[in-house]
Chain A
Amino acid sequence: MIKTRIDKCFNNLKAKNKKGLVTFITAGDPNYDTSLEVLKGLPSAGASMIEIGMPFTDPMADGPAIQASSLRALKSGQNMTKTLNLVKEFRKTNQQTPIILMGYYNPVYAYGNDQFLEDAFRVGVDGLIIVDLPPEEDDELCLKAIRKGISFIRLATPTTDNKRLESVLKNTSGFLYYVSIAGITGAATPNIDNVRDVIKRIKNKTNLPIGVGFGVKTKQNVEDMAKIADAVIVGSALVSLMNNDNKDDISIVKDVLDKVIELAEGL
């Protein structure tokens, strides 16, 4: 099997005995150009991998910060074609940093599953996280994505028991995203001891790297999580800095990248 950028990234981190920082921003938030500037700056600010949110009107598993970011992006005219174009422009100057598109199924389905995979692969997308496609719906997109060489990253949660974990892991590739709390994005910070125990349990079942997300807000959170997982995922803490109500685009880019620099110090 061909090694994807995600696999290579985790191998490099492992070789250096380091942990990864995965940063989430929403494509087109608060507008296309600003999100592209943030995107370009993320790797040197300390992001090992980048999750790009595909905006959706009804992000059912997300908290207020990411909902708001989705709506800002849509209001600025973002759509799937532009999101793929964002990746294409990023890839002009960066060939290493893995890009993972994250979002909900309907915008992908409306674009057309086959066309979406074709175009995503062509512009340099490495992985997908589709929140509302559980293993029960693998025939929809997951299996096709894997055949195409795009990783399908699945979420495991506090409600995932050992038996369920087997089906969650079955067609997961790239890494496993452990959702540290039962809840929505941007909610409370999880109890670190609980997370440590679960990750230990998951590690017994898979060799996949494990990223932990939900509720990661501070450098201290990053430091705590980096001790027990292979990568730490930050989303709401970044997108909440992208609200352009009282801020110009240049300040947004600076604020977000400064925050990433600060968080990366926790690794």
Chain B
Amino acid sequence: MNNEQKNSYKSGPDENGRFGIFGGRFVAETLMPLILDLEKAYNKAKEDIDFLEELNELNAKYAGRPSPLYYAERLTEHLGGAKIYFKRDELNHTGSHKINNCLGQILLARRMGKKRIIAETGAGQHGVAVATVAARFGLPCVIYMGATDIERQKPNLFRMKLLGAEVIPVTSGTGTLKDAMNEALRDWVTNVDDTFYIIGTVAGPHPYPSMVRDFQSVIGTEAKQQILDEEGRLPDYLMACIGGGSNAMGLFYPFLDDVNVEMIGVEAGGKGLQTEEHCASLSAGKPGVLHGNRTYLLQNSDGQITEGHSISAGLDYPGIGPEHAWLNDIGRVQYVAITDQEALDAFKMCTKLEGIIPALEPSHAIAHLIKIAPKMSRDKLIIVNLCGRGDKDIFAIAEHLNMAI
């Protein structure tokens, strides 16, 4: 390691997939050769001009990148403090940032000669993005989705089916995202020869956390250039919601070494951190090992994983990407929690003031923005990642607002 890398926040993970003590390769032996193969294939692909060009082309022509950086003028005026920009990743094809990662991984799957795609999904945004790229590349695909999540994300379930995916409801455990991930891992361990597992967030065994981060970094790379073009300087704050943490990692990563840019990750505080019904792994969990990596987890004193709760199915995961765990411990990124109610209020405000219906996930980031932007002077710049659109959430929101559709 040379000096330049040593002094960088961007040099992780090490050769063992560690970010400090976090990350690693905690998987059953059956999967070890597979993740070693994947690592090798990914390391080669990311140096391959043809691979990168094809990805750029798909990002531009298929996903609709670059997504705009939008000055949220009325919200800025309303809050009366810092100048607010939205990174509009909700305008991507499929409606969220998830497509960025899926395009990268499906190209890799094709390079590796894999014939079958599997994935887990929580809110269904990742599932829809996987089903989309599987359709586009003509590969059969199986999506595992918790039975509980299926109930609250019916529109996405329908979209996945339309796209040709087989969606398998997961009833084991508690029927949410973590159980869907368990089930996808069980599938992978059983179908080792031909199957590629597209993990949707910056978690799982090495190389997934860094690979997904790299594919999502297009968000931050674009945002950096766009804010320089617009304002002639870097922003003071970046903000993004965190479930597993892929949209946040994608926005933050290209800015990590710009030490004057402060970063805030917003976790799902559910009904409040003082209750047990939240998904704030960093704010209220402790380090443990699950799904192939060491990270902060919601767990009891016996190391049993506890159930999270969030109004947003996409944030309803008891863990968080290992790089976030590390960035938290070294203090480079600040992590806070927002309650269901605060997120709903932010959702309403954004919709009414900006004419943008955000997903419940980024509504958490907007809620924190609403708290801190008014306290800042008008020359401060904030970029919030609007990582998904709210169409999928309208039924759930109607229920919360006691409105009939």
Which residues of A are interface residues toward B (Cβ below 8 A)?
A: 55-61, 63-64, 67, 71, 74, 79-80, 104-111, 131-137, 154-161, 164, 168, 179, 182-184, 187
Contact = CB atoms under 8 A, between A and B. Distances in A.
A63 B190 CA distance: 11
Contact of A132 (B16, B27, B299): B27
A107 B305 CA distance: 9
B25 interface: yes
Contact of A159 (B179, B192, B291, B299): B192
Nearest to B26: A132
9 contacts: A57-B304, A61-B186, A61-B189, A107-B304, A111-B303, A134-B27, A136-B25, A183-B189, A184-B186
A60 B91 CA distance: 35
A59 B182 CA distance: 8
A110 B305 contact: no
B25 A106 contact: no
B9 to A, nearest CB: 25
B274 interface: no
Contacts of A135: 32
Contacts of A59: 182
B303 A108 contact: yes
Given A106-B289, A157-B29, A184 B190 contact: yes
Contacts of B25: 134, 136-137
A184 B192 CA distance: 12
Contacts of A67: 172-173
A214 to B, nearest CB: 10
Among B34, B182, B185, B191, which residue has the most Cβ atoms of chain A within 10 A? B182
Given A109-B289, A137-B25, A187-B190, A56 B304 contact: yes
Given A110-B299, A110-B303, A132 B289 contact: yes
A59 B290 CA distance: 10
Chain B interface mostly:
mixed
Given A131-B28, A137-B24, A161 B33 contact: yes
A35 to B, nearest CB: 17
Nearest to B191: A182
Among B186, B192, B301, which residue has the most Cβ atoms of chain A within 10 A? B186
Nearest to B306: A57
A58 B178 contact: yes
Contacts of A134: 25-29, 32
Contact of A182 (B189, B290, B292): B189
Contact of A158 (B27, B30, B32, B301): B30
Given A106-B289, A184-B186, A184-B190, A179 B30 contact: yes
B302 interface: yes
Interface of B: 16, 24-34, 172-173, 178-179, 182, 185-186, 189-192, 288-292, 297, 299, 301-305
Contact of A160 (B27, B33, B291): B33
A61 B26 contact: no
B20 to A, nearest CB: 14
B73 to A, nearest CB: 46
Given A79-B302, A110-B299, A183-B190, A105 B32 contact: no
B299 A182 contact: no
B189 A105 contact: no
Contacts of A60: 28, 182, 185-186, 291
For the complex of A and B, 6 pairs with smallest distance between CB atoms: A110-B303, A107-B303, A183-B190, A157-B30, A79-B302, A61-B28
Contacts of B297: 106
Nearest to B307: A57
Contacts of A136: 16, 24-25, 32
A2 to B, nearest CB: 27
Given A58-B173, A132-B292, A110 B30 contact: no
B29 A155 contact: yes
A176 B32 CA distance: 17
Nearest to A181: B190
A64 B141 CA distance: 23
Given A58-B173, A58-B182, A160-B33, 14 more contacts: A61-B30, A106-B303, A107-B302, A132-B27, A132-B28, A134-B26, A135-B32, A137-B24, A159-B31, A159-B32, A159-B34, A161-B33, A168-B29, A184-B189
Contacts of B185: 60-61
A75 to B, nearest CB: 11
